[in-house]
Amino acid sequence: MASHHEVAARYWGHLIQQDKKPSPVLQQLLLGLAKYILTCLQKKHVAPWDVDCLTPPKLATFYRLVGGDYDPLFLDTQDSSLSFIYQSLGCFHTLQPTKDPYTSPTVPALTARGFVKWQTMQLLLDPAEHVPFLQEAVKRFDLVNSQDGEPFPSLLPREALPMKPDKAMVDWHDLVSEKLMLDVKASREPTKTPPDLPWP
């Protein structure tokens, strides 16, 4: 008789494909996790004026609940910089209102598909840190596969996900990060005034 671990391993399979995209099962899992964050976490942990999008406070709350501390990224980073990070990584997101409805929308919020991309990239870049977060989410939250309406197994075997960082993805991410730092530095430099020229 197959063990619980063996049954779970067959269900999950390999969750990252050769082209570095999420498998259909991982995609459904991450979509289900996004839905859970939007519904259950919003009721318990997020301010009532927040919108039905994956805003920074919701993502920070999610990471805290699964054992991480991403408050510096999601709560301390400027909205424009976080939006640029999402854009650089190719994660679909929108700009949402702040607490004040009379100001222009500036809060970057991941769409569900953007969350799938975000989480997949984190698993490729730093599996040692992010795989346990996903394992804890599967164990702790009641996540349902929207395709068949069945709950996901509460056990996510470690071997279903990458064991080490993907070198090509890390190299690409380093280039993007370097460009982000240069762009932020350039945006903070004072505008140079043109030199005084003598009258002809």
Distance of CA 52 to the CA centre of its chain: 16
Per the listing, tokens 């996903």 go with 134
Q: Whole-angstrom Cα distance, residue 140 to residue 62?
A: 11
Q: State the DSSP string of 26-40.
A: HHHHHHHHHHHIIII
State pLDDT tens for residues 132-179: 999 999 999 999 998 888 999 999 999 999 999 999 999 988 887 787
Rounded Cα distance between 86 and 115, Å, is 10
3-state secondary structure labels for all residues of 49-72? CCCCCECHHHHHHHHHHCCCCCHH
| The pLDDT of residue 5 | 83
Q: What is the structure's pLDDT at 179?
A: 76
Condensed to tens digits (0 to 9), the pLDDT of residues 46-64 reads 555 566 789 998 999 999 9
Could you tell me whether strands 93-96 and 107-110 are parallel, antiparallel, or unpaired per DSSP bridges?
antiparallel
CA distance 39 to 98: 20
Residue-wise pLDDT tens digits, 26-46: 999 999 999 999 887 666 655
Band (192; pLDDT cuts 50, 70, 90): very low
Question: Helix or strand or coil: residue 82?
Answer: helix
